[in-house]
Amino acid sequence: MTSAKLAALVLTVLGCSAASVPAPPAPECSPRPAATPATPLAPSSSEAFQPEAPAAAAPLLAAQPDAQPPLLGKLGDLPLASGETIKACEVEYRTLGTLNADKSNVVVWATWFSGITKDLVELVGPGRLVDSSKYYVVLVGALGNGVSSSPSNSLQQPRARFPSLSIRDMVESQHRLLTRVLGLNHVRAVMGISMGGMQTFQWGVSYPDFMDRLIPIMGSPRLAPYDLLLWQANLDAIERDPAYAAGNYREQPVLPIVQQLADLTLTTTESYNKTKTREQVGNEHAQLKPPRFDANDRVRQLRAMMGHDIGKTTGGSLETAAKGIKAKLLVVVNERDLMVTPGPALDFARLADAQTLILEGECGHKAPSCEERAIAARIAQFLK
């Protein structure tokens, strides 16, 4: 999925004054271009589905401006599960489609690891994962993504001073955005891919009465041992890289091992070997550029995923957590996913008597882009 395709398919979003958006108080939202990291980087597609190195003529270029910048919901100080607080918290969001009279057609979609709402726009619309001609789709940026409050853009708590995050904190910030800024107290569905799927599971536990449907895609209620090993390897590769400089880098580090781990786990061995030559592997990894995603932001979101467990609020029991889910649940996995292994999600689906869509294609974690048609058809049926 190239950046050019993304730009071509971007849909028009609604501003604060649009008639279909619940009118918030003037200070609560403001259009603002996406915040840039400490050092401007070459643009790249979302790391969740695009393992290739960013294409750039030079290592450090100004990021391309967002033609339709997101809105920022201003939440004030946000208390976190750790006891810390994000000061002057802001949450990125976009809206697509039209809100109906009784506000019953809202679908909330949370971003994946490293993702921003712009990455989701091309997946919304007729024939896509969610049809914005039928639903009012609210795309929400997770804390730590570089646009919502993050180590890279916080003025009061920059870099290492930014507090640690959890998936629960991301959900809490989104709930406050929806209720206090957008005036929405109930939605048709909450969904997300990868880390967005983790947030979706957490939504069902944190606010079980808030939605009618839950659609976690390639997500997990808590990480399996293999997943923890993968993310620990990522964390070690960042923190032990001299260029990271304990988070005090002046230029974004390249983090070559992190980029190689992404290549190894985003898809399957069969898919990778079909799409790459031996020469490409050597050439591409000899010319790696800094990723789009800020390294300090990456560390915060990594640790949030590693600490994710929806059973924490139910004495560690996923069975008890499953019994507390009130919304109908559709769990979408790929049985060959190497980045977020499907076992915990399928186990939870059985406990919750949920519907499942088990994909078998060789794209692995990239199934939402490779098998979009099958997923979209099942989601459309589930949302009716």
Tell me: the pLDDT tens digits for 233-247?
Answer: 999 999 999 999 999
> What is the model's pLDDT at position 58?
26
* Geometric angle at alpha carbon 162, from 156 and 165, rounded to 5°: 135
> Is the confidence at residue 189, as pLDDT, over 70?
yes
CA 254 distance to own-chain centroid: 22
The rounded mean pLDDT for the chain is 86
Residue 101's contacts (CB-CB under 8 Å, 6 or more residues apart) are none
In angstroms, the CA 116 to CA 326 distance is 29
What Rg do the C-alpha atoms of the chain give, in angstroms?
A: 19
183 forms beta bridges with none
In angstroms, the CA 50 to CA 1 distance is 7
Tell me: the pLDDT tens digits for 15-34?
Answer: 333 333 333 333 345 444 43
Tell me: the pLDDT tens digits for 217-273?
Answer: 999 999 999 999 999 999 999 999 999 999 999 999 999 999 999 999 999 999 999
> Is the confidence at residue 212, as pLDDT, over 90?
yes
- The arithmetic mean of pLDDT across residues 52-79, rounded, is 61
Instruction: Please report the DSSP string for 18-72 in residue order.
Output: -TTS----GGGEEE-PPPP-SS-------TTT--SPPP-SSSS-PPPPPSSPPEE
Tell me: the pLDDT tens digits for 282-323?
Answer: 999 999 999 999 999 999 999 999 999 999 988 889 999 999
In angstroms, the CA 253 to CA 219 distance is 28
> Is the confidence at residue 3, as pLDDT, over 90?
no
> What domains does the chain contain, in order, with CATH numbers?
9-40+66-227+297-383 (3.40.50.1820), 228-296 (no CATH)
Given the structure tokens 């990868």, which residue do they identify? 194
> What is the model's pLDDT at position 68?
76
- Spatial CA neighbour of 42 closest among 284, 251, 281, 280: 251
Q: Give the pLDDT band of residue 69 (cuts 50, 70, 90).
A: confident
Q: Give the pLDDT band of residue 65 (cuts 50, 70, 90).
A: low
Q: Give the pLDDT band of residue 66 (cuts 50, 70, 90).
A: low
Q: Give the pLDDT band of residue 350 (cuts 50, 70, 90).
A: very high
The torsion defined by the Cα of 66, 175, 123 and 346, in degrees rounded to 10, comes to: 140
- State how beta strands 29-31 and 71-79 pair: antiparallel
* Geometric angle at alpha carbon 228, from 225 and 232, rounded to 5°: 140
Supply the DSSP symbol for 291. Answer: -
Of the listed ranges 57-66, 202-211, 372-381, the least confidently predicted one is: 57-66
**pTM of the entire structure?**
0.85
> What is the model's pLDDT at position 314?
85
Given the structure tokens 């048609």, which residue do they identify? 373
Distances (CA, A) of 300 to 10, 51, 196, 214, 230: 28, 20, 15, 25, 16
